[in-house]
Structure 1
């Protein structure tokens, strides 16, 4: 069965969206797991402490905020490169391995 160009494009878009979602889910799990050791339930919960009167919590929140931004920036740049054909597809594990590390304040 031959596919029309529109059908090929639709299948490629669906495959790209599925890969993007799998990677995004893995990255979100990574973000949340990285902060769990400091007793935050999620990266979003950690970031909610920005401006907290406790200076340690505020500093940790600011570190997570900057890290979370760097992680998503790297993730979406890599996914865009994959979808543009500029690099090989990534597994969720490969994407997580490429992400910048979280550096906690001292």
Structure 2
């Protein structure tokens, strides 16, 4: 035979649930029949609690069951999550002197290439290759002019940048640097225009046929 016991909260006497009544193994073996263990009345009882309506709970007090309202559990206040501070916008890093110098060198190289392309070459390196090619005098003269000009340009560019680094001159903008470079000289004079073609000689008048 199975018996049900009713568990209690030892501190408050509140009904906690049901369980099977444990047997006393020693007494059961001695008696030859089930003998249930003694109960601690603070932890379990054999009489069932009354029906408990919603919002109520059964409590064991002074050997009897009573009903009481289930106390409301205050909701724990959940603090608002702390958002990380928004970093203040910072100015973008300024380029170093070496980076600015490299940008100026790139601008100078692009300027010389553009000058060579204006005369039909791919770039200034291509134009310079014609300096030692005598097959076409015009191309050779242009190649020599570009080769000399390239050396003068880089000499002036590096001299100015050295003054800037030493604090002897202000750092120029890309546009201002181009205006400080030596001009391209030594190009052959353009071929004179061809003279106009002589007018066609006048054609003799055709004879007028006389009627017969």
Higher relative contact order (CA 8 A, sep 6+): 1
The C-alpha deviation readout for 1:61-103, integer Å capped at 9, x for no partner, is 0000000000000000000100110011111111111111112
Of 34, 43, 50 in structure 1, the residue corresponding to residue 124 of structure 2 is 43
Q: Please give the root-mean-square deviation of Cα atoms over the aligned residues, in Å.
A: 1.1
Pairing of 1:81-92 with structure 2 (within 5 A): 81-92=163-174
1:79 aligns with 2:192: no
- Equivalent positions of 1:44-59 (< 5 A) are 44-52=125-133, 53-59=135-141
Deviation at 1:57, TM superposition (A): 0.6
CA shift for structure 1 position 105:
2.2
Gaps of 5+ in 2: 1-94, 190-212
**Structure 1 stretches of 5 or more lacking a match?**
1-13
1:26 match:
107
1:16 pairs with 2:127: no
Take 2:118 and 2:175, find their aligned partners in 1: how far apart are those partners?
A: 20
* Residue equivalent to 2:188: 105
Q: Distance in 1 between matches of 2:170 and 2:132?
A: 41
Structure 1 residue runs of 4+, over 2 Å off? none
Q: Which has the larger strand fraction?
A: 2
Give the TM-score taking structure 2 as reference length.
0.43
Aligned residue for 2:113, secondary structure, equals helix
The residue aligned with 1:69 is 151
Whose helix proportion is higher, 1 or 2? 1
How many Å apart are 1:50 and its aligned residue?
A: 1.3
Distance in 2 (alpha carbons) for counterparts of 1:15 and 1:44:
29
CA distance in 1, matches of 2:155, 2:109: 13
Which residue of structure 2 lines up, in the alignment, with residue 94 of structure 1? 176
The count of residues paired between Structure 1 and Structure 2 equals 93
Distance between the aligned counterparts of 1:78 and 1:19, measured in 2? 13
